[in-house]
Structure 1
Amino acid sequence: MNYRNADLNLLKVFEALMNEGNVTRAASKLSLTQPTVSNALRRLRETYGDPLFVRNGAGIRPTRRATELWAPLARSLRTIRGTLEGESFDASQSDARLTVSMTDYVACIVAPRLLERLGELAPGMRLHTHPGTVVDFGQSLDDNRADFAIGAYNDDVQRPGFMRSRRLWSVDFACFMRNDHPLAKLDKIPLKKFLTARHLDVSLAGRVGGIYDRVLQSRGLQRNLVSTVSHYSAAYEAVRRSDLIAVLPWSEGLETVRMTGLKRVAPPLAAPARTVELAWHERHETSALHQWFIALVVEMLAREPAARTARAKPGTRS
């Protein structure tokens, strides 16, 4: 784009399209009509000689050229806003819509707290959640199905280059069983009894054999895995109603009602601890709304014991 002919309003349209992934929503965010935004997109395409955005279901997704342009343009917009008075955001007056991808384990912890805080600070804001897995969290952020993803992502999961994240709290794993299970009277389960017991596992992606099975395999061991379910809530309830045992997430100070009536003991071999993170796409780095939400979630969970443990650990991503 020739600097002398540059139109900053076009860059604001480009930013809105990147953030919203939908022409209608971008127009609403900018308080413009849809034809006006479509016309601005046409001018952007002529300027850069690229479609920039292509249809993707009910919305649009950026082309490779648009993605390449976004990083330097986003930095420029941040600089411009910082030089001027800055972009203001009044949460109490906002009617914004945010979508967050999370597992049911995370949702049971985060959603009640988050809805309470939004009711206090941003009563007009609309929050929607949908199930998420480590398999598709990057895609859901990239194609604008979700503004944020919250989950315990493994260090061995390939993280997209566009992803930014903040640590929220640490997750340990414990062996759960019903209170009157034959093994429940033991404070420490012998390894042999543990391996031969009937095990239940959770796989959000529907895979058989997860992280804990790899821990066992690395030691030449194998447990008696008889069932896999795709929801943590189903796992806790199944354990409560059967003779199954399960190595499931547990975080100090973040227990939920699903864990009541269950015996919790340490497994003979510890499962690797994981950290729950809040993740978002880098295109939202210029959005006052998204930055406000990030600060809200981090502050909201900062008072929890598990969150303090997470912050003490090195390697926070941002």
Structure 2
Amino acid sequence: MKLRRVDLNLLVIVDALLDEAHVGRAALRLGLSQPAASNALARARALFGDPLLERAQPSGLRRTQRADAMRGPLRAALAELAVIVAAGPPELADLRGAVRLVASDVPGAALGAALTAELAKRAPGIDLIFHPWHAGDEVDRLQRGEVDLAITVASTTGNALRTEHFGTYPYSVLMRHDHPAAAVKTFDLDCWLAFSHVVVSGRGDRQGSVDAALARIGRHRRVATVLHALELLCDTDLLGAFPTGVMVSSASARLTSRPVPIALEPVSLHLVRHHRTDMDPAVTLVAELLRAVGPRARANSSV
């Protein structure tokens, strides 16, 4: 393929089409009509000699094998070209687009509101999209180009990834203010295990690091509920052992905490991005804001 045959504007549209795997959403993202996006897809199919997007059952589109293979290199090439043609650093207020972030409930609760507020002040044209969390696949989704930033417990390595330590959160036991256990003089192991517990899980698992620590001393707890939110603690006698960062969420005013009566390793989080976004000013800004609001969120945890 000769470069003089390639329309760079078409490549921008192809990037959005492959990212969304949906003609309508790609058109909306780029400010195009749906017929224009469909026409661009037809031109791209002719250019690459591949369907790129094909019908999937029961409905919708899916990327072909070649489309999956070209997503990362295409995005990286477009990011580098944007830097080359830019007259200078972009004005943050002029930035438009979206930054996609995946994080578990803990950093999501701790950082979401502060991050959104700071972004609205610095770059109001950037939308922040929190993608659903599924434990263990954050880095894979980052490498596939489905998200731009990931906050994860996994410390990853590799030439394509940028990983930095993001923060450490010790555990506390959370409960509502008028919980029976909140009034006891000594909140010990027996008191803790006398109540049923709630677990936040991205996979629906009923056990986690707390259960492993209990197993080492020959004890166990009853996990009554597995879910993605803390609000249930506010209206039940359930207890939850969570990293302290969640105490800056909206539910924190209705909760109190006690020290965990066994030794638990704190949760260490890492901020990970792919090198394809090194020159993306929006992703760089959000990463910068995360570094700024992260320590404030930890300091403001009311535990």
> Do the structures match in fold with TM over 0.5?
yes
The match for 2:194 is: 197
Residue 155 of structure 1, CA deviation: 3.7
Q: Does the CA contact (< 8 Å) of 2:153 and 2:269 recur in 1?
A: no
Could you tell me the percent identity over the aligned residues? Answer: 25
Give the structure 1 partner of residue 291 of structure 2: 298
Q: Which residue of 1 aligns with 2:35?
A: 35
User: Under a length normalisation based on structure 2, what TM-score does the superposition of the two structures give?
Assistant: 0.72
Q: Residue in 1 aligned with 2:242?
A: 248
Going from structure 1 to structure 2, the CA distance change for 1:139 and 1:228 (only over 3 Å counts) comes to: farther
5+ residue gaps, structure 2, are none
Gaps of 5+ in 1: 308-318
User: What is the CA-CA distance between 1:197 and the residue it aligns to?
Assistant: 2.2
| Whole-angstrom CA distance in 1 between matches of 2:19 and 2:281 | 11
Aligned to 1:49: 49
Q: Deviations over 1:47-105 (max 9, x none)?
A: 33222223568865432212222333334334433333368654434564556555554
**AA aligned opposite 2:69:** E
Q: Determine if the alignment matches structure 1 residue 225 to structure 2 residue 222.
A: yes
Contact 1:52 1:62 in 2 (8 A): yes
| CA drift at 1:11 | 2.4
2:23 equivalent in structure 1: 23
Assess, with a 3 A threshold, how the Cα gap between structure 1 residues 17 and 109 changes in structure 2: closer, same or farther: same
User: Is residue 72–residue 144 contact of structure 2 (8 Å, CA) maintained in 1?
Assistant: no
State the partner residue of 2:72.
Answer: 71
Residues 243 and 267 in structure 2, CA contact (< 8 A), matched pair in contact too = no
Note closer, same or farther for the CA distance 1:85–1:171 as it changes in structure 2 (3 Å cut): same
* Number of residue-to-residue matches in the alignment: 296
1:258 paired residue among 251, 255, 258: 251
Deviation of 1:250 (Å): 0.8
1:283-314 CA-to-partner distances (Å, cap 9, x unmatched) read 6566443343333333333545569xxxxxxx
Q: 1:3 to 1:255 in 2, by over 3 A?
A: closer
Q: Give the secondary-structure state (helix, strand or coil) at the position aligned to 2:169.
A: strand
Could you say which residue in structure 1 is the equivalent of 2:122? 121
State the secondary structure of the residue aligned to 1:208. Answer: coil
* Distance of aligned partners of 1:170 and 1:235 in 2 relative to their CA distance in 1, 3 Å threshold: farther
In 2: Cα distance, 1:96 partner to 1:58 partner: 27
Cα distance, 1:274 vs. partner? 1.9
Q: Could you tell me how far 1:213 is from its partner in structure 2?
A: 1.0
Question: Residues 247, 61 of structure 1: CA spacing in aligned structure 2 closer, same or farther, 3 A cutoff?
Answer: same
The aligned counterpart of 2:207 is 209
Q: Report the AA paired with residue 85 of structure 2.
A: L
| CA distance 1:86–1:21, change in 2 (3 Å) | farther
Please provide the CA RMSD for this pair. Answer: 4.3
Q: Structure 1 19/66 Cα, relative in aligned 2: closer, same or farther at 3 Å?
A: same
The match for 1:112 is 113
**CA offset at residue 275 of structure 1?**
3.2
SS in structure 1 at match of 2:185 = coil
Distance 1:215 1:105 in 2: 20
Q: Which amino acid aligns with 1:270?
A: A
1:20-54 deviation digits (Å, cap 9, x = unpaired):
44334434555544434333322322233222223
Mapped partners of 1:83, 1:94: distance in 2? 17
Residue-by-residue CA offset, 1:229-255 (whole Å, 9 max, x unaligned): 3134235325xx53x443222149x64
1:198 is displaced (CA, Å) by: 2.0
The Cα of 1:282 is off from its aligned counterpart by 7.0
- 1:160-199 aligned within 5 A: 167-177=165-175, 181=181, 184-186=184-186, 189=188, 191=189, 193=190, 196-199=193-196
Give the 3-state SS of the residue equivalent to 1:134 in structure 2. coil
Amino acid at match of 2:268: T
Structure 2 counterpart of 1:11, one-letter code: L
CA–CA distance in structure 1, aligned partners of residues 122 and 59 of structure 2: 31
Cα distance in 1 between the residues matched to 2:66 and 2:131: 30
- Give how far 1:173 is off: 0.9
Partner amino acid, structure 2, of 1:132:
W
- Decide whether the 8 Å contact of 1:171 with 1:251 is kept in 2: yes
Q: Using the alignment, how far apart are the partners of 1:110 and 1:286 within structure 2? A: 24
| Structure-2 change in CA distance of 1:263 and 1:306 (3 Å) | closer
Name the structure 2 match of 1:236.
233
